Structure 1
Amino acid sequence: MNDNKEKLLIVDGMALLFRAYFATAVTGQFMINSKGIPTNAVYGFVKHFLTAVNQFQPSHVAVCWDMGSKTFRTEMFDGYKANRPEAPIELIPQFDLVKEVVEAFDIPNIGLAGYEADDCIGTIAKEMKDAAEVIILTGDQDILQLLEENISVALLKKGYGNYLVHTHETFYEEKGITPKQMIDLKAFMGDASDNYPGVKGIGEKTALKLLQSYEHIEGVLENLHLITKGQRVKIEQDLDMLHLSRQLAEIKCDVPVACTLTDSVFRMDRNKVIEKFTEVEFRGMHKLLEDSKSFA
């Protein structure tokens, strides 16, 4: 770990917002305020956010967002995420509202059209890892490919304040491969939630074995004569999709976004935050706010 005291929390805004929305929408608790705007997702987002801040005590914070559904991945493969339904109507007005609330905390909102939040997270994490200890807060396992010295990932578990914190060491202990090899793992097994198939008939168990034996896709392809005939035939039949799936799976870490330590210092103005909570009509949030030690 870094000897300096700087700790940057990078929040996967989309992951927190969607999780918060679906946790309450299932019972119809949309928390519609007097302006007719649903606030359940934003309320849950703030609750997740403040709980994490109180637990991890970051000195710096940034929040990353998707900026629309069209990205370089949808251009590469038009089936990418094509199985995702449209955003629920009650969630749509909350996309802008949540960014306003984040601004009230004096935290940068970061996103770029054509890229996913993951790509912005990856870019900032890699840029900042030498200046600060980086913790990424998400519910998305794909982010685990970014793990390395000084970059850890806190995966949201059920409820509030429950996290599975992964380092590159714990990931290797659990999977038997390095975080970077996770890209090739997904290339072989595909990703049902992102709607790309990988190699048909090759699941996680087989893919892990192949990568443990031959390190990466190139290693497997160089040693096709050593693997079973069934596996060889499957890979040869889906070779183009294997290479495409790897491109889809890899988080881009050279996106033209920037976030410096100066931009992301976390010192919130209590009055400004409370004013925003009052405007949005949030109730019962003051206790979490009082627990935070990050007032300007």
Structure 2
Amino acid sequence: MTNKSNVLIIDGMALLFRGFFATAFTGNFMVNSKGIPRNGLFGFLNYFCNAIETFQPTHVICCWDMGSQTFRNDLYKGYKSNRDAPPEELVPQFDLAKDIVSAFQVPNVGIVGYEADDCIGTLAKQLQADHQVTVVTGDQDLLQLVDQQINIAIMKKGQGNYDVFNIDNFYEKRGLTPAQIIELKGLMGDSSDNYPGIKGVGEKTALKLLQQYETIDNMLADKDNLTKGMQNKLDQYAEDLEISRKLAEIYTEVPLTFSIEDALWNKDHSSIHTFLLEDLEFKNPERWLGKLQMAK
């Protein structure tokens, strides 16, 4: 039995986007009397409260992107350039989601120039020595953070379903180590983030190479023993491979000023009750707050 605290780090962007698109396809934006859409906030609250109910944290933190431009755009001009602007109905819900988090007395963490993933990685690494850390996200990129005392809970279809990765089950689930996720994406690239990897190398080939060589550097050192086709690809796409590996790696030294005491989970929900009822005009805040009475 351990007395260590259990810190829950929530990927706010993942929860809000998931909440929005789960209902937006029906055209139901849940607009209140002030003309503000709330469908993303409704979904966010569902996922946020379910995560706390499921993982029973002692401390909670929520991380956010702070604009679309980060240091990765300086590394590679095309980074995420294939993404559309967020839907206009979602835009006002970004700040309101952060207001919800603040009303729960949970810290919102985000630094301009870095992604939420980088803030999550920095916090997880800072806290792992003294705390059990669980990250709730839909982003498979964060699997590279799995370590002693750091678990990644990937949200699955349907509320309350998580695929939890830890240091003991990771290789069985993925056939790789957490660090090799970076190498995998370096080889494959990432179409959603719009960076190239090695053209023509998919997941199957990348997995095979990493299971044989462990790292890209080991593979490059033995390049002469690869097939001629692979040798040619490595020569032709050497620059793409190097930049893709850099883009894939979560930066874990973001200059955060953070105190874990600020993240202590507080069961006094009077302020959030008022905010949900009066400001956002949700008629039944107890649908969420009632579930949290069991969260320690």
Structures share fold, TM-score greater than 0.5:
yes
Structure 2 counterpart SS, 1:262: helix
The within-5 A match list for 1:67-86 is: 67-86=66-85
Residue pair 2:267, 2:293 contacting (<8 A) in 1 also: no
CA distance in 1, matches of 2:282, 2:154: 26
CA distance in 1, matches of 2:237, 2:207: 18
Please name the residue that 1:163 is paired with.
Answer: 162
CA distance in 1, matches of 2:42, 2:35: 15
Residue pair 2:45, 2:288 contacting (<8 A) in 1 also: no
Structure 2 counterpart SS, 1:193: coil
The within-5 A match list for 1:29-40 is: 29-40=28-39
Please name the residue that 1:145 is paired with.
Answer: 144
Say whether 1:122 aligns with 2:121: yes
Please name the residue that 1:184 is paired with.
Answer: 183
Distance 1:165 1:295, change over 3 A: closer
1:127-185, Cα deviation, whole Å (9 max, x unpaired): 00111100000000000000011100111111211111111232211222100111011
Please name the residue that 1:263 is paired with.
Answer: 262
The within-5 A match list for 1:102-121 is: 102-121=101-120
How far the C-alpha of 1:294 sits from its partner, in A, is 6.6
How far the C-alpha of 1:287 sits from its partner, in A, is 3.1
CA distance in 2, matches of 1:65, 1:85: 18
Structure 2 counterpart SS, 1:263: helix
Residue pair 2:57, 2:295 contacting (<8 A) in 1 also: no
CA distance in 1, matches of 2:290, 2:4: 23
Aligned-CA RMSD value: 1.4
Residue pair 2:36, 2:92 contacting (<8 A) in 1 also: yes
| One-letter amino acid of the structure 2 residue matched with residue 261 of structure 1 | I
1:51-105, Cα deviation, whole Å (9 max, x unpaired): 1111110000000000000100011111100110001000000111111111000
Please name the residue that 2:286 is paired with.
Answer: 286
The within-5 A match list for 1:19-34 is: 19-34=18-33
CA distance in 1, matches of 2:30, 2:291: 24
- Which segment drifts farther, 19-28 or 170-179? 170-179
Residue pair 2:4, 2:131 contacting (<8 A) in 1 also: yes
How far the C-alpha of 1:43 sits from its partner, in A, is 1.3
How far the C-alpha of 1:212 sits from its partner, in A, is 1.3
Structure 1 counterpart SS, 2:260: coil
1:225-277, Cα deviation, whole Å (9 max, x unpaired): 11111111111110011000011000000001133320110014221111011
CA distance in 1, matches of 2:164, 2:266: 25
CA distance in 2, matches of 1:143, 1:132: 18
Please name the residue that 2:96 is paired with.
Answer: 97
| One-letter amino acid of the structure 2 residue matched with residue 3 of structure 1 | T
Consecutive unaligned residues in structure 1, runs of 5 or more:
none
Consecutive unaligned residues in structure 2, runs of 5 or more:
none
How far the C-alpha of 1:295 sits from its partner, in A, is 8.0
- Which segment drifts farther, 201-210 or 139-148? 201-210
Kindly tell me the number of residue pairs found equivalent between the two proteins: 295
1:6-39, Cα deviation, whole Å (9 max, x unpaired): 0000000000000000000000110101111101
Structure 2 counterpart SS, 1:169: coil
**Dislocated runs of 4+, deviation >6 Å:** none
Residue pair 1:267, 1:294 contacting (<8 A) in 2 also: no
Say whether 1:275 aligns with 2:274: yes
Residue pair 1:270, 1:295 contacting (<8 A) in 2 also: no
